[in-house]
Amino acid sequence: MRFFLYMLLNFKRCLKRPAVLALLLLFPVFSLTYRHLGSDREQGLCVYVYAENEDSFCTGLTRKLTEREGVITFIRADSEEALYHAVMTGDAECGYVFHAGLVDALNTGKKQDLIDLVISAETTLADVSNEVVYAELFEEYSLAILTDYLLTDSVLENPSTSEIESLYRENMVNGSTFAFDYSGSYSSYHGIRSGLSSQVLKGLCSILILLGGFLGLLNYCGSAEAQIYCAVTKNGRKFLLFAELFPPVLLMTLAAVFSLFFAGVPTGAYALLSLSGYALLVILFCSLLYMVLRRKTVILFLLPFYLLGCMVFTPVFVDITTFIPALRPVCLFFLPYYYL
């Protein structure tokens, strides 16, 4: 009963701290505000395309790009000057100018200076849009090669270009050749942005709960060094350590749950169970940390380095193991890795 009363007093002490109250109140408010700002300012990734001469190949290519649905929205420019203006003013990430005689240049084996790419100084999208544009380009060029071959070599009797194109399109998508099926992929910029924002918010919530555990640990270390627990038995001190760790961790976990809910991140039974398991892991980790270090000054010295390691070696903002797989064993020493 006394330990339970001590835990309630620790709850009251946590709620009297301005820093704790600020985190408990401002973190969910920040999540809610960020969600509304993100939905109000949501814009697609726009790329402008322009055909210098309206030949059949360039016309078909620009039409197919503008009809394409996905992360990048292609818009047909009225003129080359309009394309440059859109890119330079930031209305478009980049732009593509298709020159006349593109098919003839490809037929002669020319590979460079076929298309003018206009890039905004602030964009990082060019490499991604290049993949899309050239994939569509060579799909259309394959149709042009096929049509030219069937018309000139008399492989078919009285072939029509419309029939050739119809059969080509049909066999491109019916799986008779080959196809790629991307499961779990994003079909819009909003999907990518929401996915990244959710992951970052979950990472910040994991750091918030960890901070709650460290707060309780520092409180207990300060009380122990002041010999407040000198009259308590060794086993009783373990309960007192739990009574110090549990209130701030629980409060930060509740703040994390509300933050995820306000931000629109799914908070079903599995998500709540994962968050609760992580909170218990934080309590266990802080208890073991006290048994090893014990000194408040040592913990305060190591705390910034550990939090920095959590930011770098766990996927709070970026998963470093994607780029350097050899660092995966290092990530195991940082708690947010097990939640994220």
Percent of the chain with pLDDT over 70: 84
pLDDT at 155: 62
Tokens linked to 246: 């549990």
What confidence tens digit (pLDDT) does each residue in 109-119 have? 776 777 888 88
Instruction: Judge whether residue 196 has pLDDT over 70.
Output: no
Question: Which residues touch 314 (CB under 8 Å, ≥6 apart)?
Answer: 203, 206, 331, 334, 336, 337, 340
Which residue segments constitute the domains of the chain, with CATH numbers given? 2-39+189-339 (no CATH), 45-173 (3.40.190.10)
- How does residue 306 score in pLDDT terms, banded at 50, 70 and 90? very high
pLDDT at 184: 53
**Within a 10 A sphere around the Cβ of 111, how many other Cβ atoms?**
7
Question: Mean pLDDT lowest for which of 174-183, 215-224, 288-297?
Answer: 174-183
The residue ranking higher by pLDDT, 158 or 24, is 24
CA dihedral 243, 247, 249, 253 (to 10 degrees): 140
Distance CA 144, CA 49 (A): 20
Instruction: Judge whether residue 192 has pLDDT over 60.
Output: no
Distance CA 74, CA 48 (A): 6
165-191 mean pLDDT: 59
Instruction: Judge whether residue 249 has pLDDT over 80.
Output: yes
Q: Are 29 and 58 in contact (CB under 8 A)?
A: no
pLDDT at 195: 47
Distance CA 199, CA 191 (A): 12
- Sheet strands side by side (includes 45-51): 72-76, 45-51, 94-98, 115-119
Q: Are 203 and 314 in contact (CB under 8 A)?
A: yes
Instruction: Judge whether residue 232 has pLDDT over 60.
Output: yes
- How does residue 40 score in pLDDT terms, banded at 50, 70 and 90? very low
Question: Which residues touch 114 (CB under 8 Å, ≥6 apart)?
Answer: 99, 102, 105, 106
Percent of the chain with pLDDT over 90: 12
Question: Mean pLDDT lowest for which of 31-40, 67-76, 277-286?
Answer: 31-40
pLDDT at 197: 62
66-80 mean pLDDT: 85
pLDDT at 191: 46
274-278 mean pLDDT: 92
Q: Are 134 and 98 in contact (CB under 8 A)?
A: no
State the average pLDDT for the chain. Answer: 80
128-150 mean pLDDT: 82
297-320 mean pLDDT: 87
HSE, CB side, 13 Å, CA atoms: give it for residue 233. 4
153-170 mean pLDDT: 70
Strand partners for 45? 72
pLDDT at 210: 92
pLDDT at 26: 80
- How does residue 154 score in pLDDT terms, banded at 50, 70 and 90? low
pLDDT at 200: 79
- How does residue 37 score in pLDDT terms, banded at 50, 70 and 90? low
pLDDT at 122: 65
Amino acid at 68: R
Instruction: Judge whether residue 236 has pLDDT over 90.
Output: no
pLDDT at 239: 82
pLDDT at 288: 92
**Within a 10 A sphere around the Cβ of 296, how many other Cβ atoms?**
18
Q: Are 14 and 31 in contact (CB under 8 A)?
A: no
Instruction: Judge whether residue 67 has pLDDT over 70.
Output: yes
Q: Are 115 and 103 in contact (CB under 8 A)?
A: no
CA angle 324, 328, 333 (to 5 degrees): 135
Tokens linked to 305: 């380095």
What confidence tens digit (pLDDT) does each residue in 212-223 have? 999 989 988 888
Which residue, among 98, 6, 19, has the nearest Cα to 53 in the 3D structure?
A: 98
Question: Mean pLDDT lowest for which of 120-124, 195-199, 234-238?
Answer: 195-199
